[in-house]
Chain A
C-alpha cells in the first residue's frame, strides 16, 4: 500500500533529467527558446524601439515607454517580465554549465553545448546590465527557494560576460549544421558589441580596440558579405538566411515549434484597412498601431534622393484591394483593384493639390498616431491568415551591417576616423538608391560617401538609425552613447518633457526588491525611481 503514495509520474519530467546527455541538450534548447521571450515580442520592442528618436507611440501603444512618464515605474509589468525571463534563461544556462562536467557524453559535443550555454548566458547578462546597471550575478543553478540577492558592480557583470564570451569564442565551431545555433562569429560580434558598450562606461581605450578587432575578425574572417540590395536582408524565408545574417533568433512556420511566434509584424502597421479602397489582407498585416516613426525618421534622417534605405524600410503606398466607389478628398472615386489607395508623400501638398488626388493622401503634416508609413522589416505574409498573430520570421539579431557600424564606432572612438570611414562608406555605398540606369546608381553611390570630417559619433548614431531602423537597437545605442536625453528631447515630442538622465537605466522590478531578504537596503532601486 505504501507504494501507492509514491508518485507515478509519466508525462512530467523531474529536474534529474538535465544530468543526462539528452537532458543537457534539452536544457540548451530551452535556453535558446527563452530568447523568444524578448526578441520577436512587443515586450522587446517596447524596451528598445519606442521612446527614442526613431519611434514614438502609435495610437494603440503603451505610451509609458515613449512618454517616460510616472507609469514607467518599478511595477511596470514589462520590466518584471523581461527581468524574470532573462534570469530564467540564466538559470537554464547555469544548469547546463554546472551539470555538464558530470555527464558522460561525447566530449566535443559537450564542449560545444557548454560554449553555447555560455554564449547565451553572456547575452542574457548583457541585456540585464545594459538595462539595469548593477545586477545580481548567479553562476550556479538554483536549488531550493533562494530569497537573497545582491547587486554586483557593473564591472563584475561585464567580467562574467567577457569570460563567457572568451570561452564561447574559443570553443564554438565556426559553422553549424543546425542553423540558428551559436557559432564563433556570433560570439565575436556579440563580444565586439559588449566591449564597445563597456568602453562607454569605462572609457578604456583597450575596450574600443578589442571591439574593433573583434568586429574586423567577423568581417574578414568568414564568408559573410553585405548583400547588394538592402531590402533583400529582410526578404522572408530562405532570404533571411543570407550572407549578412550572423545570428538570428529562430521562428518557424511549424506551429508546433513556433510557440507564440514572432509577433513583431503586428506593431508597426497603421490602420490601412480603414482607408477607402482597402481591406485587411495578409500582405498588409494586422494593424496594431503600436509604434509610429518619428518625424525625424520620416523627414530628416534619410536623404530620400540618394539613400535607398528609406523606401526599403517603409511602405508608403498602398494599392486598392477592395474595389468600390468611395468619397475621397471630397469627391467620388471609383476605385479598381490595384489603383493607388493611400500614399504618404514626403513633401507637403496644398489643399488644392490634395483635392485633385483620387486616393487618400497624407503629407507629413497629416501624419498622425494612426496614419503613418509602415515599417516593412517585420511584415509577415506567410502567416496562415490576415489576423493570425503568430509570425514565422527569424529575428535577425546580429548582422554584418551592424558589425560594420560597430567597427566604425570603435575605430572612431579609438581615434582612427579614417579606418572607420572605410566601413561607413562601404555600408553607405551598398545603401545607395538604385537608379534607373547603372550610371544613376553609381552617382547615388558616390553621393552616399562621406568624408572623415563628417564622421563623428552623431553621424554614426544617425547611420545606425538609417541602417538598423526598428531593429531593437536604438534605446541601447542612445544609452551607450549617452545621447538618450538629448535625442529624445530633440526628436520625440511626446517623450521630450519627461525624459531625464535616470531613464538611462530601467527601474528594478518592485517585486525583486520586495521579495529579496532585506528589501530595498539589500537590493536598492536605481536612482530616480
Chain B
C-alpha cells in the first residue's frame, strides 16, 4: 500500500535525522522514532530523483541497523531484527498514566494505532492493553491534554506522562454539536483554556474573557455603570455591533444546551474551557441565533480513577483606589458663592454676604473649617470570598464530577451584596460497549441586595452634618429638603432591595453507537429559572424622603427546554476523512411573571412580606410569554490527505416569533481549510511548523424580536370614570405577517501559523460581514394612528482584523527552569450603517447616520467657554460670558439642531490584551494588560445633579469659569440656571485606556511538601486586579475608571489556594 508519492533526495553522509526531516516535509508522513534509536543510525548517502516513496525509504534504510513500518500516515522506525520475522509476537503492555504533577489520570484512551479497539486507564491511571506487537504504536489521548504516541519496541511496561495541552494542533476544540481537533478546524474559533479563565478571580466567567480573545469585547459598564458592584453582569460583543434594534449579544451554549442570558449562575471554577465561534461557518450551526457569535462553555467532567478532591478558594479585599472627585467643604462654599456672583446676588464687599447665603449649619462648618466626606462615611472595602469543592472520578463505566461552590461578595457599597450557592453534577455512564447515558446538572441559588444610594453621597452638601451632638443621624444634614442623609439608607432594614434567583439547568443525554462511526445522540436540556425580587423603602430614607413607605414584590418563572436528536458519522477512507452531523431540535421558552407594588405599610417590620396590608396598591400585574424554535441542521466535514478541508453546514429554523408568511429561515455556510505545511513545497521550510489558510462564507440569523411582535397587538390603557376604573385597549401595533429574522452574510479569511518549533503560534483573521433585513421600526406618518411598524429594512456592514500570537520567549533550559511566554491579541473593527428605514437617508431623530458606526453620540460640541470681551459674540448666540461655547458647525450665526456633530462611538475600534507569564521552579507570575482605543462614553457624573453647577447640590470638582479664572473647561456656576446651558455637551469623554488588569503570583509546592498534608498538589497565589490604569479620563479629569465611570475605582487584592487530594 502506501501513497504514490515521489521523493527527491540528494544526501552525502547526512544524518538520519536530516533525512527523516526531508522526507517528512516532502511527503507529509510523520516519523516516529526515539532519540536512542537515532543514535544507532549511520550517515546516509543517497541520490534519488522522483523515486517512489517506499523505494526511497528502502534505499535510505538498506544499510542501517534500523527498519521502518508504515502505519497509515505515520512511519515508525524500529530496530532492525536480526532474525527474519516469522510471526510477530503479540504482547500485553501495561503502565500508569499521570499528569506532570504525578497525579494519575483516569479515562485516558489507549489504542494501538491502526487497530480497532483499545482501552482506557482506570481510576489509578493504570491501563493494560493486549495485542501489542513490537513496532506498533500506542496512542494516549485525553481531552485537554496533549496526546502521546509511543512506539513499542519490546517493553511490556510503559508509564506515560500527559501534559496539559497548550494551544496546539491536537487541541480539542468544541465547535458546536461536536468537537474537532484544532488542525481540522475551518472556521474562526477562539478557545480560551482553563489557565486563562482562572488567572483572575471573577464572579462571572464572562469577565475572564476580557483581553483573552481577539474580537471579543467585554463591557462591564452595564446599566448605570455598575460594573464593579456585587453580582453585576457583563455584556459581550463579538466583532462589534451588527444590529440596530435587535440584540448584539452572543448565544451562550453550556454543555451543548443553548441557554438564555449570560453565565452569572455558573460557578466559574466548574468551567474548563470556553470556545468562541466568530465566523459564519461556525455559527451557522445555530442558524437564526448565530449572528452575534456563539460562546460555548464546557464544564468539568469526571474521569475514570479514584476520587480526586479539588478545593479551590480565594478571599479578596477590594480597596477603593479612587473616590469620585467631588468638592470638599471649602470648595463647595466658594462654588456656592460663585453661583450667586453669577447673577449678582452675592457681593464680596458685603460683610453679611455669607450670612445671607449660607444657613446656620453651613456657616458653622465654614467657621470650623469642617467638611463632611460623604463618600468615605458611606463606602467600605469590598470583601469577597469564593470556595469550590470538586470531587471527581469514576470506574470503567461510570464517571462523575460533583462540585459545590459558594461565592460571597460584600460590596464597597454597604447596601449591596451578592452570594451564590451552586452545585454541579456531571455523570457519564456506559451501558455496554454501544450505549452511554449521562447528565450535567446545575443547581444554583443566589441572593443579592442591590439597593443603591451611593449617588446621594456625591450630591450631599459637604458643609452638612451627618450626625448630631449625641451621635444620631441627622435626616436633613444641610436643611435642604431634597438632600436627606444618605447614611439613613444604611440603617438596618430601612432599605431592602433583594433579589433571589434559583436555577436548575440540566442536560441529559443518551448515546448509541449504531455501527462503527455512526452515533446517535439525544440531548434533553430543561432549564428552570425562578427570580424573586422584593423591596421595601422606609419613609426615613433618601428613596422616600419622609413620604409613605413602599414595598414591592415581583417574580418570574422561566421554563426552557431544548430537545435535540443528533446523528453523527465519522469515518476515514484512506486519505479521505468524513465527519457528518445531522440534527433535529426543538427549543421552547415560557416565562410567567407577576408583580405587586404597594405604598403605606402599617408596620415597617412587614418589609415586603405583607403587601396586602398596605394602604394603597400602586400596581399589580402578571404576564405570559412563550416562543419556540424548530430546527434541522446538517454539517459535513471532509478532509483530504490532511491538506484540504471542507465544511458545509446548513440549518433551517422555524420560529414562532416570525410572521406567518416567514416562519422558516435557511442558513447555509461553507468553509475551506488548507494545511499549507503539509504541501510538498513547504518541506524545505523548516522554520514553519504550521501554516493553515482558512476561508469561510455563510449566512446566519438574528431572531431579534420578542414574541408576539408580528401580531397586531392592542395597547392597554388606564382611565377612570368618576373614580370607577375604565381600562381599555387601543390599536397598538400593526400586524406584519412578513416579519422575519435579520440575516448576516459574512466572509472570513483566517491564517493559523506556528513557527520556530511552534515557539511562535497564532492566528490572523480578516472578516467582513453585511447584515441585511434589519429588524427596524419603519417610521410612519403619525396621521395613521401608528408612528412605526417593525419591518425588515436596512443594512449594516462590519469589517475587522483580529490578530493573535503566543510566543515562548524563554524556553526553560531544564525542567523547572525559567520560562517566559506571551499571549497577545488585538482586534480592529469598523461598523457602518449602509441603509436605514428610509433608504440611504440619515435618521437624525434616532442618531443613526449612513456610513457611521451603529451607536454614535450625536450632540452639540463644546469648544470652550465664552470669555470676558466676547459679550457681544456670546449674545449673538443667545449665550453669555461664562457659559458653554458651542461650535456653530454650519456657521449660520445661531445654535440649532443642525450644529450637532457626531462626537464618538460606543464601542472601541481597537481592543487588545496581553498576558505575560513567567515561571521559575514552583513560581508562576502572570500579568494581564488591556488596551482599548477609540470609544467615547457618556459620563453619568457629568450631567444631572452632579454637574448642575447651580450652587445647590455638591458637584464634581471641576475647573469652572470665574472672572478671575478664565478657563475654557467648565462654565460658571449660576444659581439662576438649573443646569448649565448645553449641559449635555459636557458629558462626553474619551474612553481609551491601557490598564494592568491583573497580576497573579502563584507558588506550586513540591510534591514532597504537599504530601505532608496528604495532598497530591498544592498551590497558593496572590493577585491584584486593576492596580494601574492609564487613561485620558484619569489624567485630565481626575476620573475613576473609564470602564465604570459612575463608580469609585476599586483595586482588588486576592489570596487564593488550589489543593488536590
Interface residues, chain A, CB within 8 Å of chain B? 1, 4-15, 17-18, 23, 25-34, 36, 59-60, 69-71, 73, 75, 80, 83-84, 87-88, 90-92, 94-95, 135-136, 138, 141-149, 178-181, 241, 250-259, 273, 279-280, 325, 327, 330, 370, 384-388, 509, 511-512, 514-516, 523
Contact = CB atoms under 8 A, between A and B. Distances in A.
Interface in B599-627: 599-600, 616-620, 622-627
A279 B599 contact: no
Contacts of A388: 547
B157 to A, nearest CB: 57
B722 A4 contact: no
B69 interface: no
A7 B707 contact: yes
B976 A180 contact: no
A36 B599 CA distance: 24
A279 B476 CA distance: 12
B747 to A, nearest CB: 31
A385 B547 contact: yes
Interface string B728-766: 111100111000000000000000000000000000000
B786 A33 contact: no
Contacts of B299: none
A12 B708 CA distance: 8
A13 B619 CA distance: 20
B306 to A, nearest CB: 46
A1 B546 CA distance: 57
Nearest to A383: B547
A92 B723 contact: no
Interface string B400-420: 000000000000000000000
Contacts of A141: 731, 785
Contacts of A8: 626, 656
Given A11-B622, A178-B724, A84 B654 contact: no
A180 B656 CA distance: 42
B586 A4 contact: yes
17 contacts: A11-B624, A11-B625, A13-B729, A18-B731, A31-B730, A33-B717, A75-B897, A138-B783, A148-B781, A181-B721, A259-B718, A279-B481, A386-B481, A386-B547, A509-B782, A514-B838, A515-B782
Nearest to B785: A91
Question: Counting chain A CB atoms within 10 Å of each CB, which of B586, B728, B783, B787 scores highest?
Answer: B783
B730 A27 contact: yes
Contacts of A330: 352
Interface in B666-714: 707-708, 710-714
Contacts of B14: none
Contact of A95 (B623, B656, B730, B783): B730
Contacts of A9: 707-708, 711
Contacts of B785: 87-88, 90-92, 94, 138, 141-142
Contacts of A387: 482, 545, 547
B786 A142 contact: yes
B784 interface: yes
Contact of A14 (B360, B624, B713): B713
B897 A255 contact: no
Given A145-B734, A385-B544, 13 more contacts: A1-B586, A4-B586, A18-B731, A30-B715, A31-B730, A84-B782, A88-B730, A138-B784, A141-B731, A142-B734, A179-B722, A384-B599, A385-B548
Given A1-B586, A4-B656, A256-B617, A178 B731 contact: no
A13 B731 CA distance: 10
Interface of B: 352, 355-356, 360, 481-482, 544-548, 586, 588, 599-600, 616-620, 622-628, 630, 654-657, 663, 707-708, 710-731, 734-736, 778-787, 789, 791, 838, 845, 878, 894, 896-897, 976, 978
Contacts of B655: 5
Contacts of A26: 714, 727-729
A388 B725 CA distance: 21
B656 A5 contact: yes
A255 to B, nearest CB: 4
Contact of B355 (A146, A327, A386, A512): A327
B547 A87 contact: no
Contacts of B544: 385
A138 B894 CA distance: 39
Contacts of A83: 782
A204 B654 CA distance: 64
B781 A523 contact: yes
A253 B620 CA distance: 16
B782 A511 contact: yes
B701 to A, nearest CB: 15
Contact of B778 (A29, A34, A145): A145
Given A11-B622, A257-B726, A145 B630 contact: no
Contact of A32 (B588, B623, B726, B786): B726
Contacts of A178: 721-722, 724, 726
Contacts of A180: 720-722
Contact of A15 (B619, B625, B735): B735
Question: Counting chain A CB atoms within 10 Å of each CB, which of B588, B627, B719, B791 scores highest?
Answer: B719
Contact of A512 (B713, B781, B894, B897): B781
Contacts of A4: 586, 588, 628, 630, 656
Contacts of B728: 25-33
Contact of A12 (B622, B711, B779, B897): B711
A32 B720 CA distance: 9
B556 to A, nearest CB: 12
B754 to A, nearest CB: 47
B726 to A, nearest CB: 4
A63 to B, nearest CB: 10
A147 B781 contact: yes
A69 to B, nearest CB: 8
A258 B782 contact: no
A180 B726 CA distance: 11
A33 B736 CA distance: 26
A444 B702 CA distance: 76
Nearest to B626: A8
Task: List 4 A-B pairs, minimum CB-CB distance, nearest first.
Answer: A91-B785, A179-B722, A29-B728, A385-B547
A25 B721 CA distance: 13
Contacts of B713: 12-15
A144 B735 CA distance: 7
B720 A254 contact: yes
B616 A7 contact: no
Given A5-B628, A32-B728, A146 B896 contact: no
Contacts of B719: 29-30, 32-33, 36, 250, 257, 259
Contact of B780 (A1, A145, A325, A384): A145
Contacts of A27: 728-730
A257 B725 contact: yes
A384 B616 contact: yes
B896 A70 contact: yes
A60 B789 CA distance: 36
A17 B731 CA distance: 10
A146 B784 CA distance: 6
A391 to B, nearest CB: 14
A521 to B, nearest CB: 14
A146 B630 contact: no
B656 A241 contact: no
Contacts of B978: 59-60
Contact of A34 (B623, B628, B723, B730): B730
Contacts of A512: 781-783
A18 B729 contact: yes
Contact of A5 (B360, B482, B600, B630): B630
A494 B719 CA distance: 38
A12 B978 CA distance: 42
Nearest to B664: A5
A15 B712 contact: yes
Contacts of A18: 714, 729, 731
B778 to A, nearest CB: 7
A112 to B, nearest CB: 13
